[in-house]
A and B are shown apart, each in its own frame.
Chain A
Amino acid sequence: MIPGFITQNSPALLIMVPLIAAFLCPFIGKISAAARNIWAVGAMALTSAIAFLLAFDVYSAGTRVYVFGASAINLAVPLDSGGIPIRIIFTVDAMSALMQIIAATVGFAVILYSVSSERSHSGIESYYTLYLLMIAGVMGMVSTGDLFNFFVFLEILSISSAALIAYRIDKGTAVEAALKYFVLSTIGAMVILIAIGIYYGEYNALNIAVIASRMQFTLLDQIALVLVMAALAMKCGSVPMHFWTPDAYSMAPASITAMLVVASQASLYGLFRVLFTLYNVTMNAATVGWIIITLGVLSMVIGVTMAIPQKDVKRLMAYHAVSQTGYMLLGVGVGLAVLGNQSLMDAFGYMAMEGGIFHIVNHAMYKGLLFLTAGAIFLRIGTRNLNKMGGLGHNMKYTMIFFIIGALAIAGIPPFNGFASKLMIYESVFAFNPILSIIAMVVSILTLASFVKVFHSIFMGPKLPEYENVKEAPAPMLIGMAILACIVIAFGLFPQQVVDTLIVPAAHALVNQGAYISAVLGGA
């Protein structure tokens, strides 16, 4: 049914399609606006289809290794190279496939939403170009098996997202936010490049599998670990390096904010990849695990307490995003802290990691949904200030329903997906350390309190005279939101099936360093 060369080359096509589509977009835009929209949506749909195809492949047949330019696509180590992979290699395991599914789903929902949310703006060609570049960056970051490529895709992602944050100049404030984000991410990327240089100097390799198999954990490796952890924790917006998040998330167009959530999670993926695949048990996993847990708890508490007094709806949601990132760090950090101890791993370590990884998926869906609803409200009434809103529930019924779904999911109320992953985190973290679990629950309650307030001030109350004739958001925006809302509900109703099919393989792929190495180097 599907031609063989597509299945065979899907890791390459996953990057190629959005890249080519991105750079052709300005030319297609010369023809007509409709052609450009069809082109962008079509390219994104194709990318999503390839991502799902590849993910299905990986989940059914195991890790895919794709070697660019080799005589056979999985010939990672040429016979005459002396046992070193010299070509560019993509390694797509279950964790990468999971991230691709997230990026494909949110990316598709967001581009449908953008078709009408950006309609009245100028320069849409560049918007779609940058958007597709962002998709290419995320896809590349999560599928590459090579540290330097990781850096390159990270830079593609930062440059395109910085340009998109500044896309609506808005009296200069958006540029100010983008500037902050971009200066930080450039320095972060350079710090990562220093760490990559250290690895290369020590092990003469850039391939993650080769470095992992040679890892000694010397003093230099410890320095490199600190550099990478600091830079990637900054990129995923965890406290104490979170200060760019509220600015960037609130000033970007809503559709881009939803993608920025996915971009932060790609950085989170990079962090987990480095910790689990590159170092695994060679480092002192308990200490590093506790550092990650501390970052997570700080993010949860500080994020939610900063969110409560905010008056800008998107700024408030951005602080909640910081707080939710804390849950993922907490879950996976607990798994990391007991790494290497098989009995503890079986007792609660795997479950904590599955909870953390499941929360990544859920967070991308409900947070994306919430930002999209905020964008729909902004499109119709032109303000993000909560004090100036009120009574919108009369006119924007569908948006209100989607907002309720997203808000209940983020607060961890059954039957929505946030509940499923938070319950896994509570249970397993309680077995590790009850206090952490109690903190997580309190943060969840505060999140609910905050969203009850937001819901009340946006939608409840009598119709305000100035919003008498507010219309419902246009259909493509509602469809984009509906896709995410359906996933939020489906994942909440059938969490066990999702965990078994998607999350468990991903968590095991992260923990099992040996399988990753042997997939690339063969046999070893």
Chain B
Amino acid sequence: MLWNIPFIAMVAITLIGLAIVLFKRNLIKIFLGINIFEAAVNLFLITLGYREGGIAPIYTNAPSQEMVMATPQALTLTSIVIGVATSALLLSFAIIIWKKYGTIETDKIRRLKE
């Protein structure tokens, strides 16, 4: 069961992230929950990419032509970059909400319904 620990951790972190998004009222905390969720997904991708006894695809260092294909690592990098863009946009929304409403508590941001 030891090799399953990363997957169990990924599920646990996902649930923590989702719980924060669902139950916290503060916008910044919700964004942090989303970031934790993203971290869980990245961890999942990286875990998938691990090959036991594999050789890193560094051409000058590899002893033979057999190397691990680095697709999941590339995916993770892309996903991290997208995560940064997402966080930046979310935080800029939070700044405007703070300026216009004077609060970032979600239960007080309710002008849309009126």
Contact = CB atoms under 8 A, between A and B. Distances in A.
Interface of A: 86, 148, 152, 155, 159, 162-163, 166, 169, 171-173, 175-179, 182-183, 186-187, 190, 193-194, 196-197, 200-201, 206, 247, 251
Interface of B: 14, 18, 21, 27, 30, 34, 37-38, 41, 44-45, 48, 69, 71-72, 75, 78-79, 82, 85-86, 89-90, 93, 96-97, 99-101, 109, 111-112
Contacts of B100: 169, 171-172, 175
Contact of B41 (A148, A155, A193, A200): A193
Contacts of B89: 159, 162-163, 182
A152 B30 contact: no
A137 to B, nearest CB: 12
Nearest to A193: B41
A63 to B, nearest CB: 24
B93 A179 contact: yes
22 contacts: A148-B75, A148-B78, A152-B78, A152-B82, A173-B112, A175-B96, A175-B97, A177-B112, A179-B27, A179-B90, A182-B93, A183-B90, A186-B34, A187-B21, A187-B34, A190-B41, A193-B41, A193-B45, A197-B44, A197-B45, A201-B48, A247-B112
A219 to B, nearest CB: 14
Contacts of A187: 18, 21, 34, 37
Contacts of A166: 93, 96
Q: Say what secondary structure dominates the interface of chain B.
A: helix
Contacts of A182: 86, 89-90, 93
B86 A155 contact: yes
B89 to A, nearest CB: 6
Q: Say what secondary structure dominates the interface of chain A.
A: helix
Contacts, number: 83
Contacts of A196: 75
Contacts of B78: 148, 152
Given A155-B85, A187-B34, 12 more contacts: A152-B78, A159-B85, A166-B96, A171-B100, A171-B111, A176-B109, A187-B18, A187-B37, A194-B41, A200-B71, A200-B72, A247-B112
A193 B71 CA distance: 14
Contact of B97 (A148, A159, A176): A176
B82 A169 contact: no
A176 B99 CA distance: 12
Contact of A176 (B21, B72, B111): B111
Contacts of A176: 97, 109, 111-112
Contacts of A162: 89
Give the 6 A-B CB pairs with smallest separation, nearest first: A172-B100, A201-B48, A175-B96, A179-B93, A155-B82, A197-B44
A193 B85 CA distance: 16
Nearest to A250: B112
A171, A173, A190: residue with the most chain B Cβ atoms closer than 10 Å: A190
Contact of B101 (A86, A148, A163, A172): A172
Contacts of A152: 78, 82
Contacts of A155: 82, 85-86
Given A172-B100, A172-B101, A175-B100, A197 B34 contact: no
Nearest to B86: A186
Contacts of A173: 111-112
Nearest to A154: B82
Contacts of A163: 89
Contacts of B82: 152, 155
B31 to A, nearest CB: 8
Contacts of A197: 41, 44-45, 48, 72
B79 to A, nearest CB: 6
A172 B27 CA distance: 15
A220 to B, nearest CB: 11
B32 to A, nearest CB: 12
A172 B111 contact: yes
A94 to B, nearest CB: 29
A93 B69 CA distance: 29
A172 B97 contact: yes
Contact of A193 (B30, B79, B93, B112): B79
B44 A194 contact: yes
Contacts of A86: 69
Nearest to A169: B96
Nearest to A171: B100
Contacts of B41: 190, 193-194, 197
A206 B78 CA distance: 14
A178 B27 CA distance: 13
Nearest to B85: A159
B106 to A, nearest CB: 9
A344 B89 CA distance: 49
Contacts of A171: 100, 111
Contacts of B96: 166, 169, 172, 175
A155 B84 CA distance: 12
A400 to B, nearest CB: 29
A86, A171, A177, A200: residue with the most chain B Cβ atoms closer than 10 Å: A200
Nearest to B111: A173
B30 A183 contact: yes
A190 B44 contact: no
A206 B44 CA distance: 15
B24 to A, nearest CB: 12
B111 A159 contact: no
A155 B21 CA distance: 19
B6 to A, nearest CB: 12
